[in-house]
Chain A
């Protein structure tokens, strides 16, 4: 490898990525323009109902967005992760241990000791992906995440969640797996490869780990708590 190429890979490339990441003016201008035109900010959360870190993120971000003029866009996915990841199963098991710690941060105790197969919660993703955004959907997702991960163990009772859906929306859920696939595609296009991932003003964050960064970025964009 030439010296120049070696230096480009080891120093120049990483430095450029870091430097570019500090440019905030375009995102701030876009946010200001939205406010001037009376529109809200938008936080997209890509999450999995089978993922305890996602459950934490849904509950934590719901609370953190209170008082900010920001739409909480809940976008469930099923298929995600690094392709052919050799650590996939170990990560799913570790997620349970880690979920216990995350739950503790918001005063909840994880009720499960085993991972949930993504297909077991696919019905939830397909309902939510097809539903209109708004307070009812946020309420349903938060309550479903709480019940799934902090109030139940063992097999998942679909009827219980249908009842919750009716309480939130006043009608029966409609499944749309194509809408889930669209969320997965959009998530990949945005950059995240794993859940939970929050996308705000052109940046994405691992939502379970970067609460402080997310709050700082919302403030910087002008979506402050009022």
Chain B
């Protein structure tokens, strides 16, 4: 019997997604689940606006949370646009190679903690190299329409389940929104008898 599925909706433009990364992927270490990374197009590229007060608060709040979690944050390069699109395409390629975790964590840290610009070949290549991915394959992924369609499908799926932000985890049709709900998801997974012993 296959392990229960957990969908993990994630945006490279969301600093809260970045904060969720290490603990989100670690769920698959701690529980008998099939974790599916689902990269989505950023809200602002989907025509949704984010008020200035919310943007400002997010930066301050994420800095405090990052400090608490021991994660670098502050040397930022906002990937809105090409940077996000390219990173999403390579993340789909990384999934096919079984290296989604390595790529997603490396890319997010590069964007939010090292000011790397994934919209440039130089920046994206640095990320791919650090994640152990071959550049030729990554470069080809950027123009692969099938990978772009997968990202579109992920984004559409997030809309269809009625959610508006990321990160979101979905287990057994229950949604857990936010990096601060990972512990709650872990409790539910434990209640379901899925903890690895």
Interfacial residues, chain A to chain B (CB-CB below 8 A): 9-11, 14-15, 17-19, 21-22, 82-83, 86-87, 90-91, 94, 97-98, 101, 104, 191-193, 203-206, 209-210, 212-213, 216
Contacts and interface: CB of A to CB of B under 8 A. Distances in A.
Contacts of A206: 61
B194 interface: no
B61 to A, nearest CB: 7
Given A101-B184, A213-B65, A11 B115 contact: yes
B177 interface: yes
Nearest to B176: A101
B76 interface: yes
B46 to A, nearest CB: 11
Interface stretch (B29-37, B47-55, B102-110): B47-55
A94 B60 contact: no
B178 A213 contact: no
Interface string B169-197: 00000110110110010010000000000
B162 A90 contact: yes
Given A10-B80, A91-B164, A104-B187, A209 B178 contact: yes
B99 to A, nearest CB: 27
A212 B163 contact: no
B125 interface: no
Interface residues of B, number: 33
B57 A204 contact: yes
Contacts of A191: 53, 56-57
A189 B117 CA distance: 35
B123 to A, nearest CB: 12
B174 A210 contact: no
A207 to B, nearest CB: 12
Contacts, number: 74
A15 B75 contact: yes
A120 B178 CA distance: 29
Contacts of A94: 163, 175, 177
A94 B177 CA distance: 9
A79 to B, nearest CB: 16
Which 3 pairs between the two chains have the least Cβ-Cβ distance? A87-B164, A21-B60, A10-B78
Contact of B177 (A98, A204, A213): A98
A94 B178 CA distance: 12
Given A10-B77, A216-B68, 13 more contacts: A10-B76, A10-B78, A14-B78, A18-B63, A21-B59, A21-B60, A22-B63, A86-B164, A90-B162, A94-B175, A94-B177, A98-B177, A104-B184
B8 interface: no
B59 A90 contact: no
Contacts of B68: 212-213, 216
Contact of A15 (B51, B76, B180, B187): B76
B74 interface: yes
Given A86-B48, A90-B162, A212-B68, A11 B76 contact: yes
Contact of A193 (B53, B164, B178): B53
